[in-house]
Amino acid sequence: MRILLTGATGLIGREVVRQAPAGWELVAVSRRPVAGVRTVEADLAQPGLGAALPTELDAVVHLAQAREYRDFPSCAPGVVAVNVAATAALLQHAATTGAGQFLLASTATVYEPRAAPLTEDAPVRVRGIYAASKRSAELLAAPYAALLPTRALRIFTAYGAVRDERLVSDLVARVEEGRPVQVQGERGLVTSPIHAADVARAVIAAVARPPAAGALDVVNVGGAEALGIADMAAAIGRVLGREPILEARDGEPPSFVADRAKCEAVLGVPRPMPFEEGLAREPAGAR
């Protein structure tokens, strides 16, 4: 299979490259060469992306996301360029060149938070520019699903060896450096953290089991544990051998817990590793 992959140097993409099955021919789209992989050097944020891309593809796997998305509104043009405009260009390229399928990495934060586990048909309610851009990408993908198998993976709190500004990486840095971890309510925000290696397994399984063309297929990809900020900080503390400093904050924390039933039934992926096990196996990200 010939797979066009964006985000190959990111937290999840590098795991996809590492785990790619025999028989996969990866073609990465990146601003710099990706070791061991044929690379099309291109900037997803620039117009004219489609002209640089190869044809005769079995799948397009779009994992890339804008790096800067917290400093709103100054970040908005970059977020829209990568998460929305590049998605549109890749969808158009896939549809017009006869690619076998399209796989989009989305986010659980498109959901309206609630205490019960979130199924794929749960209500959506975007609140920030990042979630809005990912929801926009999903909406763009929907009409293309009539032309080729198209799926969106809504990913819940990925973590791994890469130090970045994501939630778990920030918690690791705070515990490691003795800085306070702010916790709303008893446990803080509750989510389903999942190691990047397990997300990559889901990505590979999704490509191996494409949906039927006709409608956008949405699948949750999250961990098997429902953990609050305080729970994650405690686990990080055990791995690092440091007691986390918890700082209480007022307010009711949101909850984004994954219902994994469809992921397990449709993709057939194994149960993901426990959070603390995932921390312990990645010293670069947890120490």
DSSP code at position 49:
G
**Tell me, what's the pLDDT at 282?**
66
H/E stretch holding 95 reads helix 86-97
**Tell me, what's the pLDDT at 71?**
77
What does the DSSP assignment read for 158-187?
EE-S--SSSHHHHHHHHHHHT--EEEETTT
Residue 284 belongs to a domain: no
- CA–CA dist 282, 287 (Å, integer): 8
- CA–CA dist 97, 92 (Å, integer): 8
Residue 130 belongs to a domain: yes
CB atoms within 10 A of CB 215: 11
H/E stretch holding 105 reads strand 102-107
**Tell me, what's the pLDDT at 53?**
93
CATH assignment at residue 217 = 3.40.50.720
Residue 47 belongs to a domain: yes
- CA–CA dist 268, 121 (Å, integer): 20
Residue 169 belongs to a domain: no
Residue 33 belongs to a domain: yes
pLDDT tens for the 287 residues of the chain, in order: 999 999 999 999 999 999 999 999 999 999 899 988 999 999 998 888 888 899 999 999 999 988 777 778 888 998 999 999 999 999 999 999 999 999 999 999 999 999 999 999 999 999 899 999 999 999 999 999 999 999 999 999 999 977 777 899 999 999 999 999 999 999 999 999 999 999 999 999 999 999 999 999 999 999 999 999 999 999 999 999 999 999 999 988 999 999 999 999 999 998 999 999 999 886 444 43
Residue 282 belongs to a domain: no
Residue 281 belongs to a domain: no
**Tell me, what's the pLDDT at 145?**
97
Query: Which domain, by its residues, includes 43?
Result: 2-159+195-223+257-272
Residue 240 belongs to a domain: no
Split into its structural domains, the chain has a count of 1
**Tell me, what's the pLDDT at 287?**
37
Between the alpha carbon of residue 52 and those of residues 6, 41, 63, 250, the distances in Å are 13, 8, 18, 50
- 155 beta partners: 107, 221
CB atoms within 10 A of CB 265: 9
Residue 202 has which token pair?
């889901």
